[in-house]
């Protein structure tokens, strides 16, 4: 792993031009992580001897399968260790270099701090796990499809020691007495006093709901806390799970993560869809502790995981819903979220290249693009960009070809204009289009339901493509492209969905007079993907999904005439993450999003799979981008496990 990750770190420190030139052109060249880090984090573990060493599993609260990362500086920078298909991570309390990571599809162990890994196959032949805990002396517990399994030799062999009608959700080992172990299934609590060899039912909380999580207080192991799924009540036991009582309610309900301060059994933290809350009185009363955690739109900040320093009270880590790992040094009073390079798990919703400044580009992260960044050195470093505008969601960015400092942003609430490169913004329209283009000379195109046009910099607008098609169904834009050299030419692709009817269609329109008039392109049955050659806007490719088979078509005259270059085109043309782009240097080179990604060097006549995966084995290529000013570079996002990557071809 050192050999894999040191070159990445060195490349990140090079000047931008050297960085881009250094990307290898070998056929098996690696992808280089690109952009600031982040992503949803669903599990955290802190090294018991060094609380600046943190392990994080990425994923989502719904799909819950991701990769494992490690930070050695308290979450500032990260290194990918292993992936994907993981849900949880745990560190051996007596051997900090021994790390276990598991999930629905795999179970792995490292004995050298994550540098190398081996599979830890369960004795029943089922690799996936639902819960995990590690005790001293190589004892490991794993929940697996209603069974509790135990290994006494670090996972070499396993034995089923308990069973339940429902899945195991929490396993706890008393740090002061490892012979005492607890586990909770969805509806019952069990206890062992012989190191997990035999089990008996413990006291059962009158929760009236399925159990979601259970934790114990490290300083007072007889104190346990428990919460249910979508239930804001907190249950507490003060006698080793023999009896339970409801002690208080968290202000907002949601699927929780629980954590107890290592020194104080009365200081408890809860993280859920409403943020982080803290109790100083054993769960009776609760106060918000989310200051500094990122939030989306008008929603409260969501936290998916919590971990506390084993020996420094008040040091906390929180797994956010999209911004990676946040850290607090004052018991949740304040949180810090940095850029976290190396944590390649965030989704990429927007990537724009400045048409006049080769090293300036803009990035929107998160499903709504609410985490916005700008780089002025080709991606070597990043700064927050237009945060007051984009925190509500960033749909598109248009850069004026006349003035390099004039920008237009389409957000979930308005269209905004900046005359100083994005330092300040003015609201110019209450429209909130999905696609936006600037053609110069104050001409703007906004595509939402149909297309509207402004010839005065956004002050007034007129509809130029009707919202509804001739059958009365709304047009929704999938693609809007304006030629940065020929300001009269632009293309737009619409999908048309009849809703409750079986009607579904799509259309491609072209303008050659700056958007004043539009022509619907003929010769297409059901265009699903549209790509324009960055260096020549007359060269178009369309994936036509008309029955009985899909076809790849090419035009050399802006869509007046089409040639079938491939029949039976099957590379993800119907998927939600389909993407087709043309290389900036060679109009005969095409890339299509697939798993793995596909490439053609003969204008789409044939395609081959690119076998080299992204970081940590990721290979589900989603949105793709090419840049006219940097020919030969392809930017690709992984739609399933997150991350943005670049590679030279």
Domains and CATH numbers, the chain: 38-328 (2.130.10.10), 521-649 (2.130.10.10)
Looking at every residue in the chain, the average pLDDT score rounds to 88
Report strand pairing: 220-228 vs 348-353.
unpaired
Question: Residue 201's beta-bridge partner residues?
Answer: 190
Mean pLDDT of the region 320-343: 93
| DSSP structure string for 603-637 | TTS--EE----SGGG---EEEEEE-TTSTTEEEEE
Selected residue with higher pLDDT from 219 and 8: 219
Give the C-alpha separation, 524 to 511, whole Å. Answer: 17
| DSSP structure string for 298-346 | TSPPPEEEEEE-SSSTT-EEEEESSB-EEEESSTTSS-B----TT-B--
> Residue 62 above 60 pLDDT?
no
Give the C-alpha separation, 65 to 78, whole Å. Answer: 19
Question: Which H/E stretch holds residue 260?
Answer: strand 257-260
Structure tokens at 493: 């692709």
Answer yes or no: are the C-beta atoms of 1 and 115 closer than 8 Å.
yes
> Residue 94 above 90 pLDDT?
yes
> Residue 438 above 80 pLDDT?
yes
Question: What pLDDT was estimated at residue 571?
Answer: 54
Selected residue with higher pLDDT from 123 and 164: 164
Percent of the chain with pLDDT over 70: 90
> Residue 64 above 70 pLDDT?
no
> Residue 127 above 90 pLDDT?
no
Strands of the sheet containing 220-228, edge to edge, are 211-217, 220-228, 233-237, 245-249
**What residues contact residue 343 under an 8 Å CB cut-off, 6+ apart?**
37, 38, 39, 56, 58, 69, 78, 324, 325
Give the C-alpha separation, 65 to 630, whole Å. Answer: 34
Give the C-alpha separation, 464 to 37, whole Å. Answer: 40
Sign of CA dihedral 246, 249, 252, 256: negative
Question: What pLDDT was estimated at residue 500?
Answer: 54
User: How far apart, in Å, are the Cα atoms of 129 and each of 40, 217, 492?
Assistant: 20, 24, 47
Closest CA to 50 of 305, 262, 309: 309
Question: What pLDDT was estimated at residue 181?
Answer: 98
3-state helix, strand, coil in the chain (%, to 5): 5, 45, 50
Question: What pLDDT was estimated at residue 13?
Answer: 32
> Residue 35 above 60 pLDDT?
yes
Answer yes or no: are the C-beta atoms of 107 and 96 closer than 8 Å.
no
458: left (phi over 0), alpha (psi -120 to 50) or beta: left
Answer yes or no: are the C-beta atoms of 249 and 233 closer than 8 Å.
yes
Mean pLDDT of the region 153-168: 88
Mean pLDDT of the region 207-234: 92
Question: What pLDDT was estimated at residue 616?
Answer: 86
Taking the CA atoms of residue 526, residue 532, residue 537 and residue 539 in that order, the dihedral angle to the nearest 10 degrees is: -70
Report strand pairing: 189-192 vs 200-201.
antiparallel
Question: What pLDDT was estimated at residue 619?
Answer: 82
Q: 533-581 pLDDT, tens per residue? A: 998 999 999 999 876 778 999 999 999 999 999 887 765 544 445 789 9
User: How far apart, in Å, are the Cα atoms of 623 and each of 314, 348, 560, 576, 591?
Assistant: 40, 8, 27, 10, 11
Give the C-alpha separation, 640 to 575, whole Å. Answer: 13
432-437-439 Cα angle (round to 5): 140
**What residues contact residue 639 under an 8 Å CB cut-off, 6+ apart?**
347, 577, 593, 620, 621, 622, 623
Q: 334-374 pLDDT, tens per residue? A: 999 989 999 999 989 899 999 899 999 999 988 767 789 99
pLDDT class for 18, splitting at 50, 70, 90? very low
Mean pLDDT of the region 173-194: 95
Taking the CA atoms of residue 54, residue 348, residue 389 and residue 15 in that order, the dihedral angle to the nearest 10 degrees is: 80
Question: What pLDDT was estimated at residue 208?
Answer: 79
Q: 448-502 pLDDT, tens per residue? A: 999 999 999 999 999 999 999 998 899 999 999 999 888 899 999 999 987 555 5
Question: What pLDDT was estimated at residue 391?
Answer: 79
Q: 597-614 pLDDT, tens per residue? A: 889 999 999 999 887 888
Taking the CA atoms of residue 249, residue 255, residue 261 and residue 267 in that order, the dihedral angle to the nearest 10 degrees is: -10
Question: What pLDDT was estimated at residue 3?
Answer: 33
Report strand pairing: 407-411 vs 233-237.
unpaired
Answer yes or no: are the C-beta atoms of 571 and 531 closer than 8 Å.
no
> Residue 6 above 50 pLDDT?
no
> Residue 397 above 90 pLDDT?
yes
Structure tokens at 309: 């320093």
Mean pLDDT of the region 145-150: 88
Q: How many CB atoms lie within 10 A of CB 617?
A: 13
Question: What pLDDT was estimated at residue 28?
Answer: 57
As a whole number of angstroms, the longest Cα–Cα distance in the chain is 81
Q: 500-537 pLDDT, tens per residue? A: 555 678 999 999 999 999 999 999 989 989 999 998 99
Question: What pLDDT was estimated at residue 7?
Answer: 33
Q: How many CB atoms lie within 10 A of CB 526?
A: 16
Mean pLDDT of the region 230-244: 94
CA atoms within 13 A on the CB side of 465: 27
């Amino acid at each position: 792993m050192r050999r894999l990750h040191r070159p990445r770190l060195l490349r990140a420190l090079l000047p931008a031009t050297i960085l881009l030139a250094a990307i290898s052109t070998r056929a098996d060249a690696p992808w280089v992580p690109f952009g600031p880090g982040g992503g949803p984090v669903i599990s955290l573990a802190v090294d018991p001897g060094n609380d600046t060493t943190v392990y994080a599993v990425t994923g989502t609260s719904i799909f819950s399968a991701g990769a494992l990362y490690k930070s050695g500086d308290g979450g500032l920078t990260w290194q990918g260790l292993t992936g994907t298909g993981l849900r949880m991570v745990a560190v051996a309390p007596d051997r900090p270099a021994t790390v276990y990571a598991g999930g629905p599809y795999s179970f792995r162990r490292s004995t050298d701090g994550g540098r190398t890994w081996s599979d830890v196959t369960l004795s029943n032949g089922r690799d996936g796990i639902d819960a995990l805990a590690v005790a001293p002396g190589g004892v490991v517990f794993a929940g697996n499809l209603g069974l509790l399994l135990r290994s006494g030799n670090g996972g070499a062999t396993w034995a089923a020691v308990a069973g339940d009608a429902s899945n195991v959700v929490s396993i706890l080992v008393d740090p002061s007495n490892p012979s005492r172990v607890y586990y909770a299934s969805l509806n019952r609590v069990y206890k062992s006093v012989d190191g997990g060899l035999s089990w008996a039912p413990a006291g059962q909380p009158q929760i009236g709901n399925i159990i979601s999580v259970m934790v114990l207080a490290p300083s007072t192991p007889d104190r346990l806390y428990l919460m249910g799924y979508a239930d804001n009540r907190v249950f507490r036991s003060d006698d080793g799970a023999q009896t339970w009582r409801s002690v208080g309610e968290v202000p907002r309900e949601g699927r929780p993560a629980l954590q107890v301060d290592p020194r104080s059994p009365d200081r408890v933290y809860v993280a859920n869809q409403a943020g982080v809350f803290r109790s100083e009185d054993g769960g009776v009363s609760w106060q918000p502790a989310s200051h500094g955690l990122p939030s989306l739109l008008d929603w409260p900040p969501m936290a998916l995981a919590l971990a506390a320093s084993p020996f420094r009270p008040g040091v906390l880590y929180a797994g956010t819903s999209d911004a990676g790992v946040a850290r607090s040094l004052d018991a949740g009073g304040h949180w810090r979220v940095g850029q976290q390079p190396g944590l390649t798990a965030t989704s990429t919703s927007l990537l724009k290249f400045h048409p006049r400044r080769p090293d300036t580009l803009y990035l929107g992260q998160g499903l709504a693009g609410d985490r916005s960044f700008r780089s002025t050195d080709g991606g070597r470093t990043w700064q927050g960009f237009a945060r007051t505008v984009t925190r509500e969601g960033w749909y598109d960015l248009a850069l004026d070809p006349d003035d390099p400092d004039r920008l237009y942003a389409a957000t979930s609430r308005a269209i905004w204009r900046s005359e100083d490169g994005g330092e300040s913004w003015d609201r110019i329209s209450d429209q909130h289009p999905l696609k936006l283009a600037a053609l110069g000379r104050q001409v703007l195109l906004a595509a939402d339901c149909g297309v509207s046009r402004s010839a005065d910099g956004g002050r007034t607008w007129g509809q130029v493509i009707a919202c509804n098609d001739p059958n009365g169904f709304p047009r929704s834009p999938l693609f809007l492209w304006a030629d940065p050299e020929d300001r009269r030419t632009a293309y737009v692709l619409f999908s048309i969905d009849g809703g409750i009817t079986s009607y579904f269609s799509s259309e491609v329109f072209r303008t050659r007079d700056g958007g004043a008039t539009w022509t619907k392109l003929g010769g297409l049955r059901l265009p699903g993907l549209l790509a324009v050659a960055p260096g020549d806007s007359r060269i178009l490719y369309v994936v036509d999904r008309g029955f009985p088979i899909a076809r790849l078509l090419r035009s050399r005259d802006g869509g007046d005439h089409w040639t079938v270059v491939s029949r039976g085109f099957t590379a993800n043309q119907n998927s939600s993450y389909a993407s087709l782009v043309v290389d900036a240097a060679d109009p005969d080179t095409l890339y299509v999003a697939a798993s793995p990604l596909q490439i053609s060097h003969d204008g789409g006549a044939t395609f081959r799979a690119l076998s080299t995966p992204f970081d940590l084995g990721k290979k589900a290529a989603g949105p793709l981008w090419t840049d006219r000013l940097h020919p030969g570079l392809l930017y690709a996002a992984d739609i399933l496990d997150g991350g943005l990557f670049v590679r030279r071809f």
